[in-house]
Structure 1
Amino acid sequence: MIFAKELNDTLRGALTGDRRVVLLGEDIADPYGGAFKVTRGLSTAFPQRVRTTPISEGAIAGISAGLALAGYRPIAEVMFGDFLTLMFDQVVNHMAKYQAMYAGQATCPVVIRAATGGHRGYGPTHSQSLEKHFLGVPHLRVVAASLYHDPRTVFADFLGRDEPVLYVEHKLLYPQHLTSPVNGRVGDLIAGSDASPGALPTIRLSAVPAEDCSVSVLAYGYQAHLAAQVIERLAIEEEIFAELIVPAQIAPMDWAPVERSVAVTGRLVTVEEGADGWSWGAEAASVISRRLFGRLDRPVDVVASDATVIPSSKTKEAAVLVGSARIEAAIRAAAN
């Protein structure tokens, strides 16, 4: 099934399995079912626990925090991730702090789902990937949806912990087919799963065995999907072999799978759609350069979108945002 339907089934399963789970968000009730139709049918099946809210992200955050403190497991939808800015104070200064402030006597396990990313011509305030602004916040997990991580596994992890989590879902993932590894493969790519104890799995994809790859590529979300296509094409057409590392959780990061790959290749390219500068990729470059300084053949290459507003024109938008061409150019440069 397509990712949006898989996510819908995941939320239905969460509502069925735990009466503490409630869904909140703007226009998520039927017949609309949310801006990207992820919640379609859920308010009909669970009318008391799937509730459309006023157009106020601050109110959604506050209500969700209160419900979580009262023992519920709220899942809040943010229609466009750009409006996470309106929730920032409550997420950073309230949800993320309660458990530590009250020595574990209060927990605030809110799951915030946010549709992020561009390439749809939605313009400067409806196309951004703002997750980098939440990275490094103590006691807040940031997890990125991908086509290689089953949302059922991811949400089971969320609902089994007492921490708040931000789950970013790139809009272009919704119509794509989930391609979780089957029998050690994703399409024509060799697939493996790598994780430290207690961490969500990191998926590793390559056209040849990992020990034969000359470049490591670290990417999440929709950019991981683009990177996988580039890696497969370069392997077939030019025998440039790269290993793609796709984490689910991007903060705090499980660096062990990245280290294991780069220790073999000696080269790392990071890919993200967020704006360049002070980014996830920059943190990856810092960590890997420090831990594997003597084993790197070249500096880590950070691929990110231009540090400017995102145009509404699709042609201009494509020039600003990271796409397949930028990913391919970076991998080629790293492989030389």
Structure 2
Amino acid sequence: MRVAENINAALHTVLAGDDRAYLIGEDLLDPYGGAFKVARGLSTRFPDRVLSTPISESAMTGIAAGLALAGDTAIVEYMFADFLTLGFDPLVNFAAKSVTMYGNRLPMRLIVRCPSGGGRGYGPTHSQSLTKHLIGVPSLNVFEMSPFRDAAEVFAEMLALAQPCVFVEDKILYTRRMHTVIDPFTVEVRAGVAFVGTGERPELILIAPGGMAERAMTALRMLLVEQEIAGLLVVPSRLYPVDLDLPPVAHVVVAEDSTAGGTWGAEVAHHVHARHFADLAAPVTLVHAADTVIPTAPHLERQVLVSAETIYDALVRTVHG
């Protein structure tokens, strides 16, 4: 099963199991099924609860927040994560605040799904990773799609929190197959976190969200083959709040798709420094996209975005100082 199909199956599970669950977004109805076809088949099966909206992320997020406040379950599909900037006000100033603002704690079962990242030549305003702008908002949880964990489990976890959640979905990852690792790695999932390694005691830990997993594995394999250094890839499903239980290790690298400055990776680095400082031989290394807009031309886009080679270079610098 490919990742997009896995998310589609998870949405079927949510809507089938909760007759007060709604899926809201632009162009969701069959036969189109959404910009990346993740919603295909859902409007046919649940015609009264899969709703196509006008082109307004602010409006659809506000409607979904109202449904959640009334006790329903609402899932919003954005066409592109870039449009979080349009839905930011109802998400941050209404939905997240509504959990605790009315005297009693209220359940807010709201998930905003955001196709994120570059690599498809969509240009500066349709290729960004804006996750960092969501870090630190009270009662707002941030998750990212992982190829190592069934999306139905992640959706169940998000809805059980009864707080607004943003679910970041890497656009390139949609086409990849679930649970795929490259030789010689194996994967183990514990408490919602995937640990990908060789079984050897790692000299280095690489922490990355699900959308970076393929590039991160490639970089770790290069490190093993060319430098004979064993590394461990850690891929959490829940990005924020940060809660990682890591083995003792001398070197830690965090890779993410966003540009630098106030990022999820910086929050992870703070977490690692606070909990594991005695084990570290050097500060945590952060890997980001270049500090510029994302070009449409493929050869220029590749120079801006984080690649396996970018990560590998950071791993080598970290280990060898």
Does the pair score TM above 0.5? yes
Shift of 1:300: 1.1
Instruction: Report the counterpart of residue 194 of structure 1 in structure 2.
Output: 190
Please tell me the residue identity of whatever aligns with 2:60. I
CA distance in 1, matches of 2:43, 2:168: 22
Contact 1:206 1:232 in 2 (8 A): no
Q: Percent identity?
A: 42
The unaligned stretches of length 5 or more in structure 2 are: none
Contact 1:26 1:77 in 2 (8 A): yes
| SS class of match (2:161) | coil
How many corresponding residue pairs? 320
Q: Does 1:303 find its partner at 2:294?
A: no
CA distance in 2, matches of 1:84, 1:217: 28
Instruction: Report the counterpart of residue 20 of structure 1 in structure 2.
Output: 20
Contact 2:62 2:91 in 1 (8 A): no
Q: Could you say if the C-alpha distance between residues 121 and 69 of structure 1 is closer, same or farther in structure 2, counting changes exceeding 3 Å?
A: same
Shift of 1:190: 2.9
Q: Which moved more, 1:73-82 or 1:11-20?
A: 11-20
Q: Does 1:239 find its partner at 2:228?
A: yes
Instruction: Report the counterpart of residue 330 of structure 1 in structure 2.
Output: 314
Alignment of 1:212-223 (within 5 A): 212-223=201-212
Q: Which one of the candidate residues 298, 320, 324 is aligned to 2:304?
A: 320
Shift of 1:329: 0.7
Contact 1:179 1:186 in 2 (8 A): no
Instruction: Report the counterpart of residue 205 of structure 1 in structure 2.
Output: 196
Cα RMSD (Å) of the superposition? Answer: 1.5
Shift of 1:186: 7.2
Instruction: Report the counterpart of residue 267 of structure 2 in structure 1.
Output: 283
Q: Which moved more, 1:321-330 or 1:158-167?
A: 158-167
Instruction: Report the counterpart of residue 163 of structure 1 in structure 2.
Output: 163
Please tell me the residue identity of whatever aligns with 2:197. S
Shift of 1:187: 5.7
Please tell me the residue identity of whatever aligns with 1:71. G
Contact 2:182 2:217 in 1 (8 A): no
Q: Does 1:40 find its partner at 2:18?
A: no
Please tell me the residue identity of whatever aligns with 1:83. F
| SS class of match (2:266) | helix
| SS class of match (1:79) | coil
Please tell me the residue identity of whatever aligns with 1:251. Y
Instruction: Report the counterpart of residue 58 of structure 2 in structure 1.
Output: 58
Please tell me the residue identity of whatever aligns with 2:242. M
Alignment of 1:132-171 (within 5 A): 132-171=132-171
CA distance in 2, matches of 1:170, 1:120: 11
Q: TM-score, normalised by structure 2?
A: 0.95
Contact 2:242 2:268 in 1 (8 A): no
CA distance in 2, matches of 1:117, 1:271: 13
CA distance in 2, matches of 1:159, 1:222: 22
Shift of 1:157: 1.4
Q: TM-score, normalised by structure 1?
A: 0.91
Contact 1:207 1:231 in 2 (8 A): no
| SS class of match (1:143) | strand
CA distance in 1, matches of 2:82, 2:218: 27
CA distance in 1, matches of 2:214, 2:146: 8
Please tell me the residue identity of whatever aligns with 1:321. L
| SS class of match (1:19) | coil
Please tell me the residue identity of whatever aligns with 1:215. L
CA distance in 2, matches of 1:171, 1:150: 17
Contact 1:82 1:130 in 2 (8 A): yes
Shift of 1:299: 1.7
| SS class of match (1:178) | coil
Contact 2:223 2:315 in 1 (8 A): no
Contact 2:242 2:267 in 1 (8 A): no
Q: Does 1:123 find its partner at 2:123?
A: yes
1:108-154 deviations in Å (ceiling 9; x for gaps): 22110010000111000000000110011011100000111110100
CA distance in 1, matches of 2:21, 2:221: 40
CA distance in 2, matches of 1:88, 1:306: 24
The unaligned stretches of length 5 or more in structure 1 are: 196-200
| SS class of match (1:92) | helix
Shift of 1:39: 0.4
